[in-house]
Amino acid sequence: MRKILDARALLSVDVPRRWVRRVLWLALGLFLVTVGGTIAGLNWLASDLPPIDALRTIDPSVKTVIYAANGDVLREFFAENRTIVPLDRIPQVLQQAVIAVEDKRFRSHYGIDLKRVIGVVWINLTSNSSQGGSTLTQQLARNLFPKLLPSEKRVMRKFREWIVAAQIESLYTKDEILAMYLNQIYLGRGAYGVQAAARIFFGRDVWNLGPAECTMLAGMIQQPERFSPHRNPAAAYARRAIVLGTMVGAGYLTRGEADAIDETKVRLADPDAVAQSAGFAAYFVEEVRKWLEKEYGATRLYRDGLRVHTTLVPQFQEWMEDALETHLLAEEKNRTKRQTRAHYDQLVAEGKRPPKVTYLQGAALLQDVRTGAVLGLVGGRSFEDSKWNMAMQAKRQPGSTFKPFVYLTALQHGYTPSSILIDTPFELDTGVSGIWRPQNYSETFGGAMTVRWALSHSVNVPTAKLYVDLGLDPVLENLRKLGFAVDTLPKVPSLYLGAGEVTLAEVVASYCAFANHGVWADQYLISRVETVDGEVLFESRVNQHEAIDANEAYVMTSLLQSTLDSGTAAGARRNGFTRTGAGKTGTTNDNTNAWFVGYTPSFCAGVWVGFDEPTPMGRGATGSRMAVPVWAAFMGRVTARKGDEQFTIPPGIVDRMVCLRTGQLARSGCDSIRSEVFLPGHHPQKGCPDHGGRVLDGVVDERDFRTLDRAEDEFTPGN
């Protein structure tokens, strides 16, 4: 009772009002200081963190994907190897596995799991272990802003991380946060996000992964290199078992389901195959990359991401690369050691990489004759050794591949396939450049021969003599119409035999006009460019113009068919090409460049062989030997799918039997005859003056057919 009375007495003490006011003001001051200090501290911690507006539009860098014509992925360009996929395309079991092992209360916390933080602090204080307590949202914040939120464990960094995590939670739903996390997280081998990792480790898209692969991916998040199935499969499987245990504890799986997954072996993608594929169609892809960077800039190419659809047909490309390398390896067996790729590779392996590529090189280009689409491109034997594209960048002397443009001009000026040319010694005073004395490759002369024979057997001297009648201007005009940059070509008579320098791509494009009824089509490699959201930025359109008359194109095609049938490219028939086709070989002085460009009604392709620096390849290194076998090997396979297409004969073409000795209408007594094609109004009007018998006006009896079959095969000028 006394204690109660003492307490009442104490409470009844009269406290001065000023003391009360002072205490209240002190409490208010302490509160304001605490709040102010907290606000100031938070402001200081957040001073260089991203503003809230920046968090409203989180846009991680994504990669540009280059697709082949059939939809295959050719190459990817990126600052970070990432492909964004929506959450509904990520398997549910992968989402559950990640939540279970990384942040089991993800759906209930607000970016910071206080229960987990307290538990981690207690463990760190009472034991020697050091555990992390980051939620998925905190990990996302750290991955989005690695420079502002470095990964080392510091108290101030953790507070800053909480601030950003809370801001993210205030702006996005849980599903949006999970989607960003799964597309952002690093999983090793340069893979950012689950889709990139699925392609690298399993060779499949993430939406096609099963529970065994999904749970293994989830386990890799903690330490990607340690738990990589490529580097340490035992650790990867052990870590997966832990993930499965957490999923059972979280109620996502039964123990039986977890055990079944645990017993499943995954099928891994071959890491070496992935590395090797980076070199496929390398020159084609590099041309595409350069164009994209020029048009859209490096940021859009490497960080914003594009979807680029190209014209390349992978199967054709594979055949082209194989044909070129196989033939050049065979050629290198007969060459000096320093000119072989094997010797070059040996020097590189010894750390003695030469400053220039010294081995035999080659290039090839395949084009759709109607549209101009480049279906295959080989710019050299090794993009790693030399990035110089010898199909589209390198300019070399074309040699006799230029002769068709001379004979086209001759047809336009009244010559016919049966016109007689004279192959005898010839010299021309060019004035400034002195006396020009063209020589034949055989170093002999054949006398009288038809235009068809001179072109199909690539005889130089009669071709050079046409300069006297035609001059340069009409030839240059035809070259301009067929896509050549004539301003860069030398204005000299030797242009008739291929002086000057052009690219393989230019020559292929020009020959396409012969196959395409005289219509020239601009070459293109890219059919469509889109953003990652599907917005079309660019779509190619076929760009054509009529370069030459359709009748002229057909007669030239007929002449060039003889090159493959009985002329300098007849070896194509022994090397895999058996279809109807036309083309022209080319060999420059000292055998420095070897060419062949040939076509069918659908495809035109060219092959060039030589050294990076103009160097003689040796006697016999002609277009017939060095380029034709390569062309025939891959074109035989390309054309096999379409069957034997025939060139369409325009309505105006005239067909007549001619004597190969005189070029006039054949008589029954002529010993060498053939059926010849002519432009409208340009066929011979008179019978052969040197042989007797009736004129063969198209009604040929059985005896005449036998004569024709025998005579054309056996005909040789001068005999």
pLDDT at 400 over 80: yes
| Per-residue three-class SS string for 173-214 | CHHHHHHHHHHHCECCCCEECHHHHHHHHHCCCHHHCCHHHH
Average pLDDT over residues 85-106: 93
Does one domain contain both 608 and 682?
Answer: no
Which of 276, 310, 334 is at the close of a domain?
A: 276
Q: Are strands 526-531 and 306-310 parallel, antiparallel or unpaired?
A: antiparallel
264 domain-assigned:
yes
Q: pLDDT value at position 706? A: 39
CB 386 within 8 A of CB 635: no
Same domain assignment for residues 457 and 597? yes
The verdict on residue 214 lying in a domain is yes
In tens, the pLDDT along 289-316 reads 999 999 999 888 988 889 999 999 999 9
Widest CA span in the chain: 161
Least confident of 271-280, 423-432, 652-661: 271-280
Strands (DSSP E) contained in 458-588 are 519-521, 526-531, 536-539, 544-546, 582-587
Instruction: Give Rg (Cα) of the chain.
Output: 39
CA distance 136 to 645: 62
Residue 119 has pLDDT above 70, yes or no: no
pLDDT of residue 676: 95
Give the whole-angstrom CA distance, residue 496 versus residue 478.
Answer: 12
Lowest-confidence segment of 261-275, 405-419, 549-563, 574-588 by average pLDDT? 261-275
Q: How far apart are CA 321 and CA 275, in angstroms?
A: 18
Query: How confident is the model at residue 328, as a pLDDT?
Result: 96
CA–CA gap between residue 549 and residue 465 (Å, rounded): 25
- Quick one: average pLDDT of 382-390? 93
Judge residue 602's burial from the number of C-beta atoms within 10 Å of its C-beta, 0-12 exposed, 13-18 middle, 19 or more buried.
middle
The answer to whether residue 637 scores a pLDDT higher than 50 is yes
At 34 the three-state DSSP class reads helix
* Residue whose tokens read 């050549």: 484
Q: What is the residue-wise DSSP string for 253-296?
A: S-HHHHHHHHTPPP----HHHHHHHTTTTHHHHHHHHHHHHHHH
Look up residue 16 and give its amino acid.
Answer: P
**Model confidence at 28: pLDDT above 60:** no
- Indicate whether 413 belongs to any domain: yes
Distances (CA, A) of 147 to 144, 153, 193, 456: 9, 14, 19, 69
Is residue 149 included in any domain, yes or no? yes
Q: Are residues 37 and 101 in the same domain?
A: no
Q: How far apart are CA 385 and CA 263, in angstroms?
A: 46
User: 3-class DSSP state for residue 367?
Assistant: strand
pLDDT > 80? residue 131: no
CA distances from 630 to 33, 53, 328, 577, 605 (A): 85, 60, 9, 10, 11
In this prediction, residue 24 carries a pLDDT of 60
Give the pLDDT confidence score for residue 26 in this predicted structure: 66
Does residue 670 share a domain with residue 634?
no
Q: How many CA atoms lie within 13 A of 429 on its CB side?
A: 1
CA–CA gap between residue 11 and residue 418 (Å, rounded): 135
Beta pairing, strands 191-192 & 81-82: parallel
Residue 484 shares a structural domain with residue 582: yes
- Tell whether 513 and 659 lie within a shared domain: no
- In this model, does residue 330 exceed pLDDT 70? yes
As a whole-number percent, the residues of the chain with pLDDT over 70 amount to 83
Across 627-684, the runs of DSSP E, i.e. the strands, are: 654-659, 673-678
Residue that finishes a domain, picked among 214, 249, 276: 276
- Residue 370 forms part of a structural domain: no
- Whether residue 14 is contained in a domain is answered as yes
pLDDT at 532 over 80: yes
pLDDT tens column, 349-369: 888 888 889 999 999 999 999
Residues 509-529 have pLDDT tens digits of: 999 999 999 999 999 999 999
Each residue's pLDDT tens digit, 409-455:
999 999 999 999 999 999 998 887 789 999 999 889 999 999 999 99
More confident residue, 38 or 303: 303
Tell me: pLDDT of 5 over 80. no
Sign (positive or negative) of CA dihedral 231, 236, 238, 239 = positive
* Residue that wins the pLDDT comparison between 369 and 34: 369
Closest CA to 376 of 308, 323, 328, 332: 323
Q: How does the average pLDDT of the chain come out, rounded?
A: 86
Residue 122: per-residue pLDDT:
47
Residue 154 to residues 116, 134, 158, 234, Cα–Cα distance (Å): 17, 13, 6, 33
Specify whether 680 is located in the same domain as 625. no
- Is residue 626 predicted with pLDDT exceeding 50? yes
The verdict on pTM exceeding 0.75 is yes
Residues 101 and 135 in one domain: yes
pLDDT at residue 558 tops 90: yes
Q: Is the pLDDT of residue 588 over 80?
A: yes
Does residue 208 sit within a domain? Answer: yes
How high is the pLDDT of residue 433?
A: 75
Q: Which residues, other chains included, contact 465 with Cβ-Cβ below 8 Å and sequence gap of 6+?
A: 421, 422, 426
> Does a structural domain hold residue 634?
yes
Any idea which of 4-18, 415-429, 697-711 has the lowest mean pLDDT?
697-711
Q: Quick one: average pLDDT of 331-338?
A: 84
The confidence band for 705, taking pLDDT boundaries of 50, 70 and 90, is: very low
Residues 85, 219 share a domain: yes
For residue 128, pLDDT beyond 60:
no
Q: What's the domain range around 682?
A: 654-714
Does the pLDDT at position 691 exceed 70? yes
What pLDDT digit, counting tens, does each position of 202-223 carry? Answer: 999 999 999 999 999 999 999 9
Domain boundary at 276, 301, 319, which?
A: 276
Go through the chain and tell me how many residues it has.
719
Q: How far apart are CA 507 and CA 395, in angstroms?
A: 11
Q: What is the CATH number for 537? A: 3.40.710.10
Q: Are residues 471 and 564 in the same domain?
A: yes
Q: Which of 656, 615, 594 is nearest to 458 (CA)?
A: 594
613 and 679: one domain? Answer: no
Pairing of strands 593-599, 603-610: antiparallel
Q: ∠ CA 688-689-694 to the nearest 5 degrees?
A: 55
Q: Three-state SS string across 60-102, please?
A: CCCCEEEECCCCCEEEEECCCEECCCCHHHCCHHHHHHHHHHH
Mean pLDDT calculated for residue range 527-547: 94
Query: Alpha helix locations (H) across 370-419?
Result: 403-412
| pLDDT of res. 699 | 45
- Whether 545 and 624 share a structural domain: yes
Number of domains in the chain: 4
